[in-house]
Amino acid sequence: MRAGAPWALRHRKDPHSSKAQAGLAARLRPAFERLGPTFIKLGQLIGGADNFLPDELVGEFKLCHDRVPAESFDYVREVVEAELGGPLRDLFAEFDRTPIAAASVAQTHGARLANGEEVVVKVQRPGIKKRVTRDLGILTWLAPILERHVPQARLANLPAYLALFAQTIVEELDFRLEAENMLDIARILATAPGRAVIVPRPHPTLVTPRVLVMERIRGFRTDEDQAIVDAGVDPTPVFRALMNMLIEGAMIHGVFHGDLHGGNMMITPTGQTCLFDFGITGRFNDDAARRALMGFMMSTITADIPAQLEYFRDLGGFPSDANLDKVRADLDLGGDGPHAASAEAVATTMRDTATKLVAHGGRMPEPLFLYLKGAVYLMGAIATLGADVDILQELSYTVDYLTKTHGEQFKTDIGLDVEATPVNSDKLLSLVKATAGVDADATSVSFRDLQRGQAGQVKDAAQAGKTD
């Protein structure tokens, strides 16, 4: 309240202006960091909500830090010995006193088992459950207030999203559930070609609610660009593996990593990507929801706008009695799929669309929010890691891979016969070219081109705003 009251007084006449939103975000982010683990985790999720929440809010919360002072080694020893039932010296041949990392919920230490295996030991912070329970009550009270002051929060379905957040953070406090999530994801990834994405193996006898011992995998953070280049890692296979991991996990198996960010991903010197921290794992909990996601994604690729709206409704994005023809007309969605937008329109379309969706009762389904947030992060990470990767080639590869690998399941689950209705990504590729500002007949578009094009469009939109 102390962070928001001065802002409310200063901007009571224009609370929804860009300046007002930036001012609110600048006050909220440090307040979230001071309030502790629950708010920090929520702040990080807000920072990954590109295109779903105001740019000012998202941009500020990208700076939200989850680095806090480490607990003492005496505390770590006490918890590990109590949870695992023996003296530290009997449980481990070596145990590093200095943590590898210290975050708001837990900290990790390197160690070695008696058989010589290198492991990482994750230890929960003291009193965290009591604090999280209290904070969740505060957030439940705060949600309707934020919806009033941040209209786009209604599209993000903030109350329902906070309910999902509450569920996931409570699960995150039981490391046995995290270990189960790791095994679920690992089983899916083991079926992928080349095992390009891997998960550390939790130790079967050394997992408790507050301690998780797992295999140690070494590599580079995804933001260590030069080290990855120096190691000779080709970014193209990394791009393909990550996108296929997210798409197949959600669409085919109904489960995916729900909290992708730089701290939760590592690239090994051999080019494999390792995922960590499975406390937040997204799930389409029943087969109907998974099929609706599959239909939503494939109707996007096939440019079937009416079907796309129907599947979005089936995911919970619209009330069951929503007039989808009226939604389609109001949003000016033709039947010809994605189309090139002007520079000014690209910068404003998402905000305008959000407003219209809210007017029609539109809400972002909770697991879809986590899924799309992960996709946005991956695109950003690959844009940094492989700025010269050819997007057109990779989009075509992904579409071709999905249709050849899962064509029979598409037919069974959603009635899409990819042989009778070939999946054509031309319109999607045209949109990418338009956004990048390259010629329509261009044969390649890199992430670097895309970033330049988007920067130019934002600049053009700003100039247009000054002359209005």
**pLDDT of res. 97:** 96
Catalytic-labelled residue, pool 259, 277, 304, 413: 259
**Sequence spans of domains, the chain:** 5-64+129-167, 174-468
Summarize pLDDT for 123-140 with one digit per residue, the tens. Answer: 999 988 888 888 888 777
pLDDT at residue 114 is higher than 70: yes
Highest mean pLDDT among 27-36, 242-251, 287-296, 322-331 belongs to: 287-296
Summarize pLDDT for 346-367 with one digit per residue, the tens. Answer: 334 445 555 566 667 777 787 8
**pLDDT of res. 333:** 64
Please give the backbone phi and psi of residue 9, each rounded to the nearest 5 degrees, phi first. Answer: -70, -40
Does the global pTM surpass 0.95? Answer: no
Query: Both tokens of residue 205?
Result: 């006898």
Q: What is the residue-averaged pLDDT of the chain?
A: 78
> Tokens 């459950």 identify what position?
129
Percent of the residues in the chain that have a pLDDT greater than 70, as a whole number: 75
Highest mean pLDDT among 249-253, 257-261, 451-455 belongs to: 249-253
CA angle 27, 33, 38 (to 5 degrees): 120
- Cβ–Cβ < 8 Å for 323, 368: no
Dihedral-angle region of residue 197 (phi above 0 means left; psi in -120 to 50 means alpha; beta otherwise): beta
Mean pLDDT of 181-192: 89
How far is it, in rounded angstroms, from Cα 99 to Cα 155? Answer: 40
pLDDT at residue 315 is higher than 70: yes
**pLDDT of res. 38:** 79
How far is it, in rounded angstroms, from Cα 298 to Cα 149? Answer: 35
Query: Both tokens of residue 416?
Result: 């899409």
259 part of the active site = yes
**pLDDT of res. 33:** 79
**pLDDT of res. 149:** 63
**pLDDT of res. 18:** 62
Percent of the residues in the chain that have a pLDDT greater than 90, as a whole number: 26
